[in-house]
Chains A and B, each alone.
Chain A
């Protein structure tokens, strides 16, 4: 701690603080323009200059200067104000003052500072810039005539996003921010630069001329897309979500978002939303009222219950409270056939973790990863599945020189980070590599084995997984496998990241165990700052696991329900917030099941391909229309808040479940999410003692920052076998989408508008395909056609197609394999 005096006030702050931060803590306002809490010190604008008695003769930038013991700081004086005012006058000389038509008006730092310092009239005049604006893409508009050269856009894109779109070009007065070759912006479109720009130089296009900032109602909530669980602030005008606001003060993600969180909100306002219940009459879905719809559902389920039973499959975008009510409803309906997210996607990994560690969740929290010295990412480049967690990894690597190792079947963004190493394996062989890493640690005596069960058995079982043998299978050099293992073993703080989700179902249990083995052998569980991260695909994937939305004893899981339905041994299916026809593996099986099942109820916000097959469709609520809690992939419970009313007659899943439970004789009369939550807290392991009202802006992490594991048991698991055909297809998430709902959001669609299959240059030239050509992929006698996307990410013989698009029909050939052997032709 350091003591100093600011404007006569005694202040004690940490010695890492800058003068600006110290003043802020003491409630003293120093104006800033280029400073940003989450970026490295910069010191360019010179608005924040102050006087320091010990450094006379010049003015000191408060945003970059660390405090020292006994410092005496003056933050305002005639001299300082004059210099600040001059800086503003300079900035205003060339800045095109367009406040009346600039969307930033009302929350523009330059506007506010000009007002605060009464910069009028300007003593200086000069030429205004007349640079062309960049409006090439539909999401972000750049008008460099308004730029004040604070560098924040370039800094955030480099330091945090690690994309590096922008740089300054030219010198002196001609300096400006530009993209490579000064072309139109072409990037990840995460919008971080939009949120950081203090003026109206970078603006979100979908929000153009929509509202003045003060007209917007701000509602803090949680992004409805992925398990990263980013805090978002809905900007609401006239009952519509018009934008997602920048907010680095609340929440856990420092205001960082990915394209989905920032620009993916538009589906909420879509004209295609379901606003009335539908029932099938004479083979056609027609609108009806809730009474008829519920009557039909209740009698249909009652009948089914009396016959071969009902099955319930839900998605993981429902709140904890809704999931809890659904579980109650299942009880009321007397069925144990309950599952979520296609079952397979979470089942294997959680079982694996439970066997080894006795837990079914990440053992530490995201921010801790920034301080890790070694990070191992398995299967996915986290940008595709959990982009904002990926940004934490960026910062670990870029700011703290963390060592990053990626085990993957295609190259990704992580691999481009400084000193990052991608162990590029043939598809489906991640377990083999993890096994080899464990083998080498045990063989070299580097493993932590004290208090670990099963070591001898594991060591014996791993005889077939020496780095050399695995190198021959996977194509990853043995030395690289050993080096990676050693790197992990010697780290003081380390993290292992594993994503799961609908497109990643193969070897799921093996992968969970192999990752946990490695975590145990390198001492990760329970060690301060280290963690094994299990990252679910959807906003409340972890909540669904915590609340045990799983089949009861002897009951059917998701796969078995569809199997049973297809075989005619299940009488009704209730599908909530999922589109299995599009997103579950093996479309043929799902089609047959939906076709054969006598009674199908689908509850959704859109008339999805699955809903189109239903007997009754119940219109539900999006994340922006409900209250409750989500649990993200680091076990953080956060409040979801209603920002806008429900469209038409749509109801929340919460309300629907309550109504149905009543009809099944289990009248539940909760007063709202808070009351449900207290039941959840009382009955869910780890949630005990958490109060709904106490879940603040930072959320509450159940189990604490470091989750205590129940055991440390290493278990032998078999690796995969390589697919030997010349071409194999893998699937997964693409960065811009998540699940299927993002294919209805204009933001992600603006960048990835349609399905594609990605292949490497070498394969493209062998196959003589060009970008955009239709490629025919054939497997198990089924054929699909996809437009080719050619780049340098894919290894030879490996093709990638994202799974989000219904029209692609990818799940006609993808039935859950790690890699699909395919024949490819033009």
Chain B
């Protein structure tokens, strides 16, 4: 199906889940075996050299994040895996956990060893019950095999992994809100500083990483940092990436491909092109909180820096495509309604600002807006940008900002005609 090396999806078969036997057959737990013979600092250093960047949306270099963590300090500390995955258009973690749960378990064990955390949690979205069960079975198998629990592989290192089913809301994916939710509190984000590495879960040092991020770790240890960098097609990038396609395409698979693959390849080859023979109008390159890209940007390589240069964000790698008949105002309104609904209600610009933005977009879409309203909308975006408590509101602004930047004429058309120009 594809000529790129399959790292995370190598055991993926339609409708099946790979458990321990199969996982080990393809080299599973070699990374862990190797890791426990290294010092934790060496493991961290290797991850840092590998250039792995967070797959949860923000793309923060994982190795660098780990340097903030007091791994060598004794006492309680935690590793938490973020499996909340509720951003519209993102479903890669689910596919990974449905296919091969040991990928995450081994990755977490290596990370836990590197960070010296005796306890790790997987925080998983309530709707991912199958994934949670897969993980629980994988944990049981790993314990049986001596990969998890006390004295892992004779190294003296002990680690327990617990699966926590979240009550589930988009804000629970924000790492500090996640920690609150994990503690049984209301899922509001926390003030930073202090950062989780200093005061995280139960007030103790904590590192939060995405499912896919952690699943890469043992492969980096098994095959080396250079190998990992070599997987990417861009100079600065590293590794492969899980891309989840959705929207107006002929096919919407989730696939593993190198960092640096172009949007065109993803859409044409893996998505089978835009449906019904239509043209593409825009896409969200990395989930609902990333600014739109247009058909003119199809040759941009899918990597953090390259997409950022193109005015958007790589995000989670969930690509949503909109065909030429889409009203971009309506699409954006739909996205913003999601963010307004999912706002935790903590800070004023997001709680009260986003519903107001939705109201303005609705006015535009229904042809009731004036040019003054458009000005107010621009103004609002400025007022919400860089003023909110957490990144949710920031993410909400992305698509709207790009709507005004890329589809300004279409927006003004709504106002001038007093109706949606794309609907007859």
Binding site for B on A (CB under 8 A): 41-47, 49, 57-59, 61, 64, 66, 82-83, 86-87, 90-91, 93-94, 123-124, 126, 149, 167-168, 170-175, 401
Which residues of chain B are within 8 angstroms of A49 by Cβ–Cβ distance?
387
Are A168 and B356 also in contact (CB < 8 A) when A174-B345, A175-B345 are?
no
Say yes or no: B387 contacts A43, CB within 8 Å. Answer: no
Residue among A57, A87, A91, A126 with the most chain B CB within 10 A?
Answer: A87
Say yes or no: B386 contacts A59, CB within 8 Å. Answer: yes
Say yes or no: B341 contacts A44, CB within 8 Å. Answer: no
CB of B250 within 8 Å of the partner chain = no
Are A173 and B191 also in contact (CB < 8 A) when A46-B387, A57-B386 are?
no
Say yes or no: A171 contacts B352, CB within 8 Å. Answer: no
Identify which of B193, B349, B351, B356 contacts A175 (C-beta below 8 A): B351
CA distance A2 to B117 in the complex (A): 34
Can you sample 6 A-B contacts with CB below 8 Å? A45-B347, A90-B353, A149-B346, A167-B186, A168-B188, A171-B171
CA distance A59 to B389 in the complex (A): 10
B: interface residue count bin: 20 to 34
B394 closest partner in A (C-beta)? A58
Which residues of chain B are within 8 angstroms of A45 by Cβ–Cβ distance?
347-348
Are A90 and B389 also in contact (CB < 8 A) when A66-B193, A173-B340 are?
no
CA distance A87 to B349 in the complex (A): 6
Say yes or no: A173 contacts B348, CB within 8 Å. Answer: no
CB of B385 within 8 Å of the partner chain = yes
Identify which of B188, B348, B380, B386 contacts A58 (C-beta below 8 A): B386
B350 closest partner in A (C-beta)? A172
Which residues of chain B are within 8 angstroms of A170 by Cβ–Cβ distance?
345
Min CB distance A84 to B, Å, is 10
CB of B169 within 8 Å of the partner chain = yes
11 further A-B contacts with Cβ under 8 Å, apart from A49-B387, A57-B386, A173-B354, are A43-B389, A44-B347, A45-B347, A46-B349, A59-B386, A61-B389, A171-B171, A172-B340, A172-B343, A172-B344, A401-B203
Say yes or no: A93 contacts B352, CB within 8 Å. Answer: yes
CA distance A134 to B396 in the complex (A): 35
CB of B61 within 8 Å of the partner chain = no
Which residues of chain B are within 8 angstroms of A83 by Cβ–Cβ distance?
383, 387
CA distance A663 to B113 in the complex (A): 87
Identify which of A93, A168, A174 contacts B186 (C-beta below 8 A): A168
Identify which of B186, B191, B341, B356 contacts A126 (C-beta below 8 A): B356
Identify which of A57, A64, A171, A401 contacts B341 (C-beta below 8 A): A171
Say yes or no: A173 contacts B343, CB within 8 Å. Answer: yes
Closest 3 interchain pairs by CB? Answer: A175-B345, A58-B386, A90-B352
Say yes or no: A172 contacts B191, CB within 8 Å. Answer: no
Which residues of chain A are within 8 angstroms of B193 by Cβ–Cβ distance?
66
Residue among B203, B342, B347, B380 with the most chain A CB within 10 A?
Answer: B347
Which residues of chain A are within 8 angstroms of B356 by Cβ–Cβ distance?
90, 93, 124, 126
Which residues of chain A are within 8 angstroms of B383 by Cβ–Cβ distance?
82-83, 86
Min CB distance B357 to A, Å, is 11
CA distance A126 to B362 in the complex (A): 14
Say yes or no: A46 contacts B345, CB within 8 Å. Answer: no
CA distance A41 to B190 in the complex (A): 10
CB of B388 within 8 Å of the partner chain = yes
CA distance A120 to B296 in the complex (A): 45
CB of B359 within 8 Å of the partner chain = yes
CA distance A172 to B338 in the complex (A): 10
Which residues of chain A are within 8 angstroms of B386 by Cβ–Cβ distance?
57-59
Are A44 and B348 also in contact (CB < 8 A) when A82-B383, A83-B387 are?
yes
Binding site for A on B (CB under 8 A): 169, 171, 186, 188, 191, 193, 203, 340-349, 351-356, 359, 376, 379-380, 383, 385-389
CA distance A775 to B347 in the complex (A): 52
Which residues of chain A are within 8 angstroms of B348 by Cβ–Cβ distance?
44-47, 87, 90-91, 149
Say yes or no: A172 contacts B351, CB within 8 Å. Answer: yes
CA distance A149 to B379 in the complex (A): 24
Which residues of chain A are within 8 angstroms of B388 by Cβ–Cβ distance?
46
Identify which of B169, B343, B344, B349 contacts A90 (C-beta below 8 A): B349
Which residues of chain A are within 8 angstroms of B389 by Cβ–Cβ distance?
43-44, 46, 61
CA distance A90 to B386 in the complex (A): 17
Identify which of B342, B347, B352 contacts A94 (C-beta below 8 A): B352
Which residues of chain A are within 8 angstroms of B343 by Cβ–Cβ distance?
171-173
CA distance A283 to B193 in the complex (A): 75
Which residues of chain A are within 8 angstroms of B345 by Cβ–Cβ distance?
149, 168, 170-175
Min CB distance B342 to A, Å, is 7
B388 closest partner in A (C-beta)? A46
A80 closest partner in B (C-beta)? B387
Which residues of chain B are within 8 angstroms of A61 by Cβ–Cβ distance?
389
CA distance A120 to B202 in the complex (A): 45
Min CB distance A327 to B, Å, is 53
A88 closest partner in B (C-beta)? B348
Say yes or no: A42 contacts B191, CB within 8 Å. Answer: yes
CA distance A44 to B342 in the complex (A): 16
Say yes or no: A58 contacts B387, CB within 8 Å. Answer: yes
CA distance A168 to B345 in the complex (A): 9
CA distance A714 to B409 in the complex (A): 88
Say yes or no: A126 contacts B342, CB within 8 Å. Answer: no
Say yes or no: B346 contacts A44, CB within 8 Å. Answer: yes
CA distance A87 to B350 in the complex (A): 10
Min CB distance A359 to B, Å, is 38
Which residues of chain A are within 8 angstroms of B359 by Cβ–Cβ distance?
126
CA distance A58 to B347 in the complex (A): 15
Say yes or no: A43 contacts B351, CB within 8 Å. Answer: no
Identify which of B169, B351, B380 contacts A173 (C-beta below 8 A): B351
Min CB distance A58 to B, Å, is 3
CA distance A58 to B186 in the complex (A): 26
CA distance A46 to B352 in the complex (A): 12
Min CB distance A221 to B, Å, is 37
Which residues of chain A are within 8 angstroms of B352 by Cβ–Cβ distance?
90-91, 93-94, 173
CA distance A175 to B169 in the complex (A): 14
Are A172 and B347 also in contact (CB < 8 A) when A46-B387, A58-B386 are?
no
Which residues of chain A are within 8 angstroms of B203 by Cβ–Cβ distance?
401
Identify which of A41, A43, A123, A174 contacts B347 (C-beta below 8 A): A43
Which residues of chain A are within 8 angstroms of B191 by Cβ–Cβ distance?
41-43, 64
Which residues of chain A are within 8 angstroms of B347 by Cβ–Cβ distance?
43-46
Which residues of chain B are within 8 angstroms of A124 by Cβ–Cβ distance?
356
Which residues of chain B are within 8 angstroms of A123 by Cβ–Cβ distance?
376
A41 closest partner in B (C-beta)? B191
CA distance A49 to B352 in the complex (A): 17
CA distance A87 to B383 in the complex (A): 9
CA distance A180 to B29 in the complex (A): 48
Min CB distance B313 to A, Å, is 15
A86 closest partner in B (C-beta)? B383
Say yes or no: A58 contacts B351, CB within 8 Å. Answer: no
Say yes or no: B344 contacts A171, CB within 8 Å. Answer: yes
CA distance A411 to B203 in the complex (A): 28
Which residues of chain B are within 8 angstroms of A59 by Cβ–Cβ distance?
386-387
Min CB distance A442 to B, Å, is 31
Say yes or no: A149 contacts B349, CB within 8 Å. Answer: no
Min CB distance B194 to A, Å, is 10
CA distance A45 to B186 in the complex (A): 18
CA distance A149 to B346 in the complex (A): 8
CA distance A59 to B352 in the complex (A): 18
Min CB distance A35 to B, Å, is 12
Min CB distance B96 to A, Å, is 28
CA distance A47 to B354 in the complex (A): 17
CA distance A43 to B388 in the complex (A): 9
CA distance A82 to B385 in the complex (A): 13
Which residues of chain A are within 8 angstroms of B385 by Cβ–Cβ distance?
58
B344 closest partner in A (C-beta)? A171
CA distance A375 to B342 in the complex (A): 42
B352 closest partner in A (C-beta)? A90
Say yes or no: A172 contacts B387, CB within 8 Å. Answer: no
CA distance A41 to B192 in the complex (A): 10
Which residues of chain A are within 8 angstroms of B171 by Cβ–Cβ distance?
171
Which residues of chain B are within 8 angstroms of A93 by Cβ–Cβ distance?
352, 356
